[in-house]
Structure 1
Amino acid sequence: MSRLPVIVGFGGYNAAGRSSFHHGFRRTVIESLDALTRQETLAGLAVMMKLVKVVNGSFHSSTDEPLSLADIETRFAAQILDSTLVRRIEKRYLDVDAVHWQKNLSLSSGDDNPLTFVTQRKQLPEPLPANWSVEPLEDNAVRVTLLGGCDIKVDSFRALPVKSAGQLPTGFEPDELYASRFHPRGLQLAIIGATDALRSTGIAWTTILEHVAPDEVAVFAGSSMSQLDENGFGGMMQSRLKGHRVTAKQCPLGLNTMPADFINAYVLGSVGTTGSVTGACATFLYNLQKAIDVINSGRARVVLVGNSEAPITAEIIEGYGAMSALATEDGLRNVQGGGEVDFRRASRPFGENCGFTLAESTQYVVLMDDALALELGADIHGAATDVFINADGFKKSISAPGPGNYLTLAKAVASAVQLVGLEGVRRHSFVHAHGSSTPANRVTESELVDRVAETFGIEEWPVVAVKSYVGHSLAAASADQLMSALGSFKHGILPGIKTIDRVADDVFRRHLHISTEDQSRQETPLDVCFINSKGFGGNNASGVLLAPRVVEKMLRKRHGEEAFAAYSVKREATRAAAQAYDEQALKGQFDVIYNFGNDMIDDQAIELGTEQIKVPGFSRPLVFHKDERFSDMLD
């Protein structure tokens, strides 16, 4: 009997704000919320953005004036909305109108006027060029005379063609939430995102560890682009050309596996399974598949899976820009028909578009097997039953879409049919499209979804695309989709693609429903979401996500009504604890977990045995399981 991987916690941060308790989702459908929910969402963002402070549990202005939820909406709603989601890149990342670079400059001298300059001796190049003549001066200065000429590099500044990105809410900085000395931004995001997911469970991590063996915990996390800011690989590779020294941290902290390593070492203290699978823009689903596999097989009982990506750097922007993959200012102007560019509408899935929009994001989910979830009284937000991955076969262009996605999505739908029935898929499912916002994607992905819909007899299949709000966060992109899907399950709302005026003429949609407005599904509940993702190189993945009401029905059948009733009682305390964290976080107390050097395990205290291992700090031993996989091949 396969164990069911249920989602008992989720959290993180992206351009829409905090993901736990569906706050980020609410930002994307804020026009469709009731007044109180809308005001609570705005208040939480106002605190994150330092527009409002909290004094003795109450909201106050910067001048200590008490504020109600209605006051916050009246005063700050416009600023909050303008300073979230996709927008023009802010100067806290880089000045897109004046990005630093170096320009090659050739200097030459005439016969009668040799080039001379004065500098410090310690600044002379090694070895000294043959055509340089050096004259000592006072105070270790020298006069250099150039015979002929030389090539030098000089500082210069130029505008980037790409000027939009999905950025964390203005004023919210992850490095301010814990002692983040010299941590690349992607690792800062990993720490705060994993914390948010863990806190959202409403169950203390120490309590969870009391119910599992040390090796029944797993973490699968990473980043697609590594850590390319100045504290990671970016600084390491720039140092020599800038005349700086490489630090001891830039190389190790730049690794793309480091988000998992940071979570193990500083958040969980885990000695269980760890790993990071990279699949370009489908990376999160690749890691989710690993999580599902280890829970299905019983090799792990609780798994933290997610990704963190911080790609808003000049180098990454120029790299994707050189591929003509990103939406440029001129491209957007052409799409809009001239005039001043609206960068808030830069990401335009399935509409007239010109490229995708980079974004930063950190998203994590906590998975448990169904038996452990019931034992602990964990709140269940859904279940991840399958992820299917297929390559494209032979390719002409490594970045072009291919046939592998047909295999993944069709297998995902076939899998869901076995769980909820064909009619359940036809009436109660929706697709979270990759929706990258490129002209090629809008045609190829819409065609494949339309053909799969036709094959399974699905009409008016709802298709949504969260990148229209938060941009494309590369490794974390399909995690952004999952978070949005959980919000749709909770609130019964399908987000419209509101950055486009209409669906492009070349989009296939005979069997699809792509809306530019939010759609309420209160009367026809959403039971299944298909998360679709496509990545450069032929990395295709499609995941199956079940709604909580479907999961509860499955658990009642497997464990019985009596066991489910007992679970429901325990769940109330869990929900109360989770709600307490949410109320605390809404008021700016994120309680980030960062255990640097705390509770370290003494190797010498590990008790090794022939049947088990006892690890200090863990109440249960690691037991060697009997392996009968190859028993039929042995004497």
Structure 2
Amino acid sequence: MKSRLPVIVGFGGYNAAGRSSFHHGFRRTVLESMDTAARQETLAGLAVMMKRVRVVDGAYQSEDGQPLSLADIDQRFAEEILASTLVRRIEKQHLDVDAAHWQKSLGVAASAEAPLSFVSSRKQLPEPLPANWSVEPLNATDVRVTLHDHCEFKVDSYRALPVKSAGQLPTGFEPSELYNARFHPRGLAMTVVGVTDALRSIGIDWQRIVQSVAPDEVAVFAGSIMSQLDENGFGGLMQSRLKGGRVTAKQLALGLNTMPADFINAYVLGSVGTTGSVTGACATFLYNLQKGIEQIASGKARVAIVGNSEAPINQECIDGYGAMGALATEDGLRQIEGKTGSTSEEVDFRRASRPFGENCGFTLAEACQFVVLMDDELALELGADIHGAVPDVFINADGFKKSISAPGPGNYLTVAKAVASAVQLLGVEAVRERSFVHAHGSSTPANRVTESEILDRVASAFAIEQWPVTAVKAFVGHSLATASGDQVISALGSFKYGIIPGIKTIDQVADDVHQQHLSIANVDRQRAPENLDVCFINSKGFGGNNASALVLAPHVVERMLRKRHGEAAFTTYLARREQTRTAAQAYDAQALRGQLDIIYNFGNDLIDDTAIEIGTEQISIPGFSQPLVFKQDDRYADMLD
């Protein structure tokens, strides 16, 4: 049997550029290169997301009720919208970087000649009492405590953080406000709204898709690498006792890094299919993408939802990555801008992330990105709109390492294998003339040297000259698990519009970057969409987690499907696709006006276990039109009598 081709039939999510479906996030990153209609449409959508413009009876209005045209929104709000998206100074809704809370140790000394005393509630006394404390009852509730020796107290204090920039969701956009998100960590709220966006973008009702496949032919691979670290997840779990509070029943469960997949199955899809989450540090999205395409290519699944959600803009993550020297600090930015001794206002936090330029560390970001994959036969049968295909993802480790965070040789293997695979599939001319690279581009001094050398040497080996390289982290920052999802979805935008985004946060490429065979630009580059056949997605992660994928452009996929399925079948598919596109565009139109229709089914359509019918050939599950048929397994037949 020929391998099924995993095609992308839907994509969505949110990052610092806004909503991903229908390429709105991509359009924000290349807004200078968009025509007026596309620019104004994207700005209007962002204005609604940010609560700067409201929609009444389908029409845009200002907060005081005045009607607004798209041109009005552009004129009145463009500057504010641009300043409140992409990488920027961390906003107080996340963290007050000028006055971050911490506990300072305060040593207090007492002696027999000069004891120290204070009055406290009896209920607040520590258990057991320190040996150098004496307690005198004052009344039924209060006591006087006398210290006879040294004692250390923890005192609330506030300090400025050295890191002050991040890739935040657009100002004013709060995922938890869009559905009944009681006690959900931010990363899980982002999961629910992000995967809804991806599912709505398909243009085919989810129940129709489910009815077309067996119950176990849907797979979900999603997670995060930092778990859920805010108050409603592991953050609250770890801090509650130290803060004098209690652990809740939900903090541990909701904090798990696999919970995004669990939420998607239980509250969005109602799926009983394959599920899981593969963690590979900053290459995690591609690790999960590999699982999805393997499930589809092997025939184990016909539909796969792949993605990640990460919400790391908190003091703990900033402290942790900052202690490693990995993040761009205010002082570091000041130094590379030549502003030593100047005030913080002169530091351009908008340009904190500078892949392949003079840089000083990466910029943390929050994001949720999801893609919906189908096998090519099902996509044609349902009339799904195909935005690209992912034939393979290659993953390799680094071998022996002295430093767990240092780069290693594994990425040479993944990039070279991805290029070789594309050459076999499309031919060497397509790779040399019509491919581009979405680099990991983390914006660290080490990455700009090591990754550029890898790309340059691979380009040399395959005789690729002036290989276009871009890096989306320049715009949206580094979203950790979701980072390569940001890259994949940006690549789909390039296929749609023929634009390779320039790395516009750099003035020029750094002197130590290897670029004999590479083309790294700080301006957008326009190509005819048919002249972009394949994009290579490269991702590197701490610990030796390297992954590279090849994503095929939709016009290439269409050519492949015509050959595989025949002209007649493809013509029939094109007719079905028109209906799909009409439905998808209807969702986009309402989403631009703030009607996101979040899918969150808490406690709905529960499966009655007693109604499951178990036979020797299949299982029938209530709510699913097709039975789960036990597949014939002949893999080990030659080993049996």
Q: TM-score range by the shorter chain?
A: over 0.9
Give 3-state SS (helix, strand or coil) of 1:221's partner: strand
- Is 2:462 the partner of 1:461? no
What residue in structure 2 maps to residue 251 of structure 1? 252
What residue in structure 1 maps to residue 200 of structure 2? 199
- Is 2:371 the partner of 1:370? no
* AA partner of residue 136 (structure 1): P
* AA partner of residue 92 (structure 2): K
- Is 2:308 the partner of 1:307? yes
Deviation at 1:185, TM superposition (A): 0.6
In the TM superposition, what are the counterparts of 1:328-343 in structure 2 within 5 Å?
Answer: 328-338=329-339, 339=342, 340-343=346-349
* AA partner of residue 301 (structure 1): R
2:425 to 409, 419, 436: 419
Give 3-state SS (helix, strand or coil) of 1:241's partner: coil
Q: 1:523 to 1:122 in 2, by over 3 A?
A: closer
- Is 2:627 the partner of 1:621? yes
Give 3-state SS (helix, strand or coil) of 2:427's partner: helix
Q: CA-atom RMSD, angstroms?
A: 0.8
What is the alpha-carbon distance in structure 2 between the residues aligned to residue 66 and residue 402 of structure 1?
57
What is the alpha-carbon distance in structure 2 between the residues aligned to residue 66 and residue 286 of structure 1?
47
What is the alpha-carbon distance in structure 1 between the residues aligned to residue 621 and residue 127 of structure 2?
54
What residue in structure 1 maps to residue 130 of structure 2? 129
What residue in structure 1 maps to residue 214 of structure 2? 213
* AA partner of residue 16 (structure 1): A
* AA partner of residue 191 (structure 2): A
What residue in structure 2 maps to residue 237 of structure 1? 238
- Is 2:591 the partner of 1:585? yes
What residue in structure 2 maps to residue 479 of structure 1? 485
Deviation at 1:524, TM superposition (A): 6.1
* AA partner of residue 400 (structure 2): F
- Is 2:505 the partner of 1:499? yes
What residue in structure 2 maps to residue 189 of structure 1? 190
What is the alpha-carbon distance in structure 1 between the residues aligned to residue 216 and residue 373 of structure 2?
15
Preserved contact between residue 280 and residue 287 of structure 2 (Cα < 8 Å): yes
Cα deviations across residues 109-168 of structure 1 (Å, max 9, x unaligned)?
A: 233332111111111111111222212223511111111231111111111100000000
- Is 2:291 the partner of 1:285? no
Cα deviations across residues 426-472 of structure 1 (Å, max 9, x unaligned)?
A: 11100000000000000000011011001111111000000000000
What residue in structure 1 maps to residue 450 of structure 2? 444
Give 3-state SS (helix, strand or coil) of 1:8's partner: strand
Moved more, 482-491 or 234-243: 234-243
What residue in structure 1 maps to residue 519 of structure 2? 513
Aligned residue pairs, count: 635
* AA partner of residue 209 (structure 1): V
What is the alpha-carbon distance in structure 1 between the residues aligned to residue 57 and residue 252 of structure 2?
44
* AA partner of residue 79 (structure 1): E
What is the alpha-carbon distance in structure 1 between the residues aligned to residue 530 and residue 425 of structure 2?
18
Preserved contact between residue 423 and residue 430 of structure 2 (Cα < 8 Å): yes
What is the alpha-carbon distance in structure 1 between the residues aligned to residue 510 and residue 634 of structure 2?
57
- Is 2:565 the partner of 1:559? yes
Deviation at 1:243, TM superposition (A): 1.0
What is the alpha-carbon distance in structure 2 between the residues aligned to residue 133 and residue 475 of structure 1?
53
* AA partner of residue 513 (structure 1): S
Cα deviations across residues 209-233 of structure 1 (Å, max 9, x unaligned)?
A: 1100000000000001111111111
What residue in structure 1 maps to residue 12 of structure 2? 11
Preserved contact between residue 474 and residue 504 of structure 2 (Cα < 8 Å): yes
Give 3-state SS (helix, strand or coil) of 1:344's partner: helix
What is the alpha-carbon distance in structure 2 between the residues aligned to residue 162 and residue 186 of structure 1?
21
* AA partner of residue 90 (structure 1): E
What is the alpha-carbon distance in structure 2 between the residues aligned to residue 600 and residue 593 of structure 1?
16
2:437 to 414, 418, 431: 431
Give 3-state SS (helix, strand or coil) of 2:241's partner: helix
Give 3-state SS (helix, strand or coil) of 1:618's partner: coil
What residue in structure 1 maps to residue 413 of structure 2? 407
What residue in structure 1 maps to residue 176 of structure 2? 175
Which stretches of structure 1, 4 residues or more, deviate above 3 A after TM superposition? none
Give 3-state SS (helix, strand or coil) of 1:186's partner: helix
Preserved contact between residue 530 and residue 555 of structure 2 (Cα < 8 Å): no
What residue in structure 1 maps to residue 45 of structure 2? 44
Moved more, 519-528 or 87-96: 519-528
What residue in structure 1 maps to residue 548 of structure 2? 542
Cα deviations across residues 518-569 of structure 1 (Å, max 9, x unaligned)?
A: 0001276211000000000000000010000000000000000100010110
TM-score between both structures, scaled by the size of structure 1: 0.99
Give 3-state SS (helix, strand or coil) of 1:305's partner: strand
Give 3-state SS (helix, strand or coil) of 2:76's partner: helix
What residue in structure 2 maps to residue 153 of structure 1? 154
- Is 2:80 the partner of 1:79? yes
Deviation at 1:416, TM superposition (A): 0.6
What residue in structure 1 maps to residue 357 of structure 2? 351
In the TM superposition, what are the counterparts of 1:255-266 in structure 2 within 5 Å?
Answer: 255-266=256-267
Give 3-state SS (helix, strand or coil) of 1:220's partner: strand
* AA partner of residue 208 (structure 1): I
The percentage of aligned residue pairs carrying the same residue is 76
- Is 2:582 the partner of 1:576? yes
What is the alpha-carbon distance in structure 2 between the residues aligned to residue 17 and residue 627 of structure 1?
46
Deviation at 1:600, TM superposition (A): 0.7
Preserved contact between residue 328 and residue 352 of structure 2 (Cα < 8 Å): yes
What is the alpha-carbon distance in structure 2 between the residues aligned to residue 153 and residue 440 of structure 1?
39
Preserved contact between residue 495 and residue 529 of structure 2 (Cα < 8 Å): no
* AA partner of residue 582 (structure 2): A
